Amino acid sequence: MNDRLLRAARRQPTDTTPVWLMRQAGRYLPEYRAIRGNIAFLDLCKHPDLAAEVTVQPITRLGVDAAIIFSDILIPVEAMGIELELGDKGPHFPNPVRSAADIERLGVPDPVQGTGFVAEAIRRTRRALNDSVPVIGFCGAPFTLAAYMVEGGGSKSYILIKRLLFEQPQLVHTLFEKLTRTLIPYLLMQVEAGASIVQIFDSWGGELSPWDYERFCLPYLTRMVKEVQAKGVPVILFGTGMSNHLPLLKRTGADVIGQDWRTPLDEARRVLGPDVAVQGNLDPLHLFLPREELEARVVDILRRAGPVGHICNLGHGILPPTDPEAAKFFVDAVHKHGFALRQSP
């Protein structure tokens, strides 16, 4: 198996820098759009054969060093018994979670009964890949998931979830506790099915001050990280807008801390110290730069990160209008300059 990504996560030497792209299976790929043209997004997630097929698409086309299972962070939330719609405008919960009774009604699903199709997609993906690259499992973090559940969908201001947090903190702790008791077995099911590493997406965690993040999020994240690591599997923790939260993220014990493009990786390293790996962090919009400028950004990222303990990636998900050739150029440039960096560090 190409184990560059797993070695980098454990800060072991590699021949070059491993790379994958958040949202690497998605609408920028014509072969994804061809399948998605005939099936709704949630149905695609729940159809293990097709989910495995789209998971493998970017491996074949881009030559990335890992597959991330095709699914969504909201899949286990739906299994808690709340109606979820995923339309053109993003996720929508027609009956958002706003009261004690709403939280009381949520279940803690058995992972196989509620979301067994994810495990099946992982098994089929591993077979299709013939174990050529590792499979990344994932879930959302309690705050990011709760933000969708309480707001009823995406948000710009996060007023409802933050008001609930500050006006009725005990309610939010009850919700986070239920989410954590759902997410830990969900991640362990993915590990059991063949995920070799997992990523926790706290995409909107940067909306909270470090003070609130420490009190409301850290205890749950730390539990999730510990339980996965107890199975011998490394954990990547990713968030955006969290330059000032890095000391907290480090305290979760995660093996890898994912960075968006706002934090230069040498600065992240200065704060995080030598015993944590970093992931990132090209601005997804940089894939629209002329090729030689894109290449210069890659060289800069690799130099700042150094040769050990770096998984290269975008700073957030790849955007639908991106040219797949630009994504391929990015992956090739990381591999080429990653080799060169190790010849003359």
Query: Does residue 117 contact residue 177 with C-beta atoms inside 8 Å?
Result: no
Query: Binding residue per annotation — 25?
Result: yes
Q: Provide, rounded to whole angstroms, the least separation between the CB of residue 116 and ligand CP3.
A: 18
DSSP 238: E
Query: Coil, helix or strand for 300?
Result: helix
Site string for ligand CP3, 6-35 (x = CB under 6 A): ----------------xxxxxx--------
Distance CA 191, CA 240 (A): 25
Is the preceding peptide bond at 281 cis, omega within 30 degrees of 0?
yes
Report the phi/psi class of residue 196: left, alpha or beta, with left for phi > 0 and alpha for psi in -120 to 50.
alpha
Q: Provide, rounded to whole angstroms, the least separation between the CB of residue 24 and ligand CP3.
A: 5
Which has the closest alpha carbon to 199: 251, 235, 172? 235
Q: Of 4, 7, 32, 72, which is the active-site residue?
A: 72
Q: Provide, rounded to whole angstroms, the least separation between the CB of residue 217 and ligand CP3.
A: 15
The nearer residue to ligand CP3, 23 or 181, going by C-beta atoms, is 23
Active-site residue flag, 72:
yes
Query: Binding residue per annotation — 206?
Result: no
117 near ligand CP3 (CB under 6 A):
no
Q: Provide, rounded to whole angstroms, the least separation between the CB of residue 332 and ligand CP3.
A: 19
73 near ligand CP3 (CB under 6 A):
yes
Active-site residue flag, 23:
yes
Helix%, strand%, coil% for the chain, nearest 5: 55, 10, 35
Q: Of 10, 11, 23, 262, which is the active-site residue?
A: 23
The nearer residue to ligand CP3, 48 or 91, going by C-beta atoms, is 91
Report the half-sphere exposure of 74 (CA within 13 A, side-chain side): 20
Residue 124 burial (C-beta neighbours within 10 Å; 0-12, 13-18, 19+)? buried
# binding residues, ligand CP3 (CB under 6 A) = 23
Q: Provide, rounded to whole angstroms, the least separation between the CB of residue 194 and ligand CP3.
A: 16
Report the residue closest to ligand CP3, judged by CB.
203
138 near ligand CP3 (CB under 6 A):
yes
Looking at 70-78, 209-217, 285-293, 324-332, which segment touches ligand CP3 (CB under 6 A)?
70-78
Token pair of 48 as six digits: 């293990």
125 near ligand CP3 (CB under 6 A):
no
Active-site residue flag, 27:
yes
Token pair of 234 as six digits: 């490394």
Question: For ligand CP3, which residue of 181, 317, 329, 336 counts as binding (CB under 6 A)?
Answer: 317
Report the half-sphere exposure of 291 (CA within 13 A, side-chain side): 10
Q: How many residues does the chain have?
A: 345
Residue 10 burial (C-beta neighbours within 10 Å; 0-12, 13-18, 19+)? middle
186 near ligand CP3 (CB under 6 A):
no
Looking at 83-91, 92-100, 161-169, 244-252, which segment touches ligand CP3 (CB under 6 A)?
83-91
333 near ligand CP3 (CB under 6 A):
no
Residue 19 burial (C-beta neighbours within 10 Å; 0-12, 13-18, 19+)? buried
Q: Is the dihedral of CA 222, 8, 334, 302 positive or negative?
A: positive
154 near ligand CP3 (CB under 6 A):
yes
Q: Which residues are catalytic?
A: 23, 27, 36, 72, 148
Q: Which residues are annotated as a binding site for substrate?
A: 23-27, 72, 148, 203, 316
Residues that bind ligand CP3 (CB under 6 A): 22-27, 36, 41, 68, 70-74, 86, 90-91, 138, 154, 201, 203, 316-317
